[in-house]
């Protein structure tokens, strides 16, 4: 029974961790886009986004990442048989990539705490898709537990992400062209 409680807690904290990872990038984008506003508006917006980023990152996202790790470790300790499966090792590689993604977001948080962000809003939108791709790969792998299933699932979301990015780029081009027509 302890295993099921641990598994439930693991799933809950994975969910809150991903929620934080998805929303933090949105806040980065809003912070970056505020740079184009007049100084007064820019100052107010960036101050608010900075506060929201700090609270989300240190109150929700980091604790969720740590608790996810703790509960995953306990699950593997209770059920070490999972470590003898190929799919679990592949999953752990994706989880490692997810933690590297998390640390890259920490780098961006550190920049914002210093008052700047060296990434474009468009680049951040693309970077946001990395967490989505990792989520799909991990979920397909855990549910299907074979290498072929998660490969097709991940390739599918990668294809959708590429189409989405092309659509965003096209929309951006059309929007900028329209703003030229109005001037």
The pLDDT mean for the chain works out to 90
- Percent of the chain whose predicted confidence (pLDDT) is above 90: 66
Detail the residues annotated as belonging to a binding site. Answer: 10, 91
Could you tell me if 35 and 76 are in contact, meaning their C-beta atoms sit under 8 angstroms apart? no
CA distance 157 to 151: 10
Average pLDDT rounded to a whole number, residues 167-174: 81
Count of the separate structural domains present in the chain? 1
Confidence band, pLDDT 50/70/90 cuts, at residue 149: low
Q: Specify the range with the lowest mean pLDDT, choosing from 52-56, 89-93, 94-98.
A: 89-93
Half-sphere exposure (Cβ direction) of 150: Cα atoms closer than 13 Å: 21
Detail the residues annotated as belonging to a binding site for heme. Answer: 10, 91
CA distance 6 to 78: 10
Is the confidence at residue 183, as pLDDT, over 60? no
First to last CA, the chain: 67
Domain residue limits at 103:
2-182
């Amino acid at each position: 029974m302890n295993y099921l409680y641990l598994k439930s807690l693991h799933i809950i904290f994975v969910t809150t961790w991903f929620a934080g990872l998805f929303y933090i990038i949105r806040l980065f984008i809003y912070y970056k886009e505020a740079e184009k506003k007049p100084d007064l508006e820019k100052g107010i917006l960036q101050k608010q986004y900075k506060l929201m980023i700090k609270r989300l990152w240190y109150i929700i996202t980091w604790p969720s990442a740590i608790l996810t790790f703790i509960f995953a470790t306990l699950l593997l300790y209770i059920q070490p048989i999972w470590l003898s499966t190929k799919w679990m090792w592949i999953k752990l590689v994706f989880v490692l990539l997810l933690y590297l993604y998390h640390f890259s977001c920490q780098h961006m948080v550190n920049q914002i705490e210093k008052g700047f962000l060296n990434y474009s809003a468009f680049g951040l939108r693309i970077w946001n898709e990395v967490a989505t791709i990792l989520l799909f790969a991990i979920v397909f792998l855990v549910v299907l537990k074979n290498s072929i299933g998660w490969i097709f699932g991940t390739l599918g979301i990668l294809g959708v992400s590429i189409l989405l990015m092309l659509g965003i780029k096209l929309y951006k081009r059309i929007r900028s062209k329209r703003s030229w027509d109005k001037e």
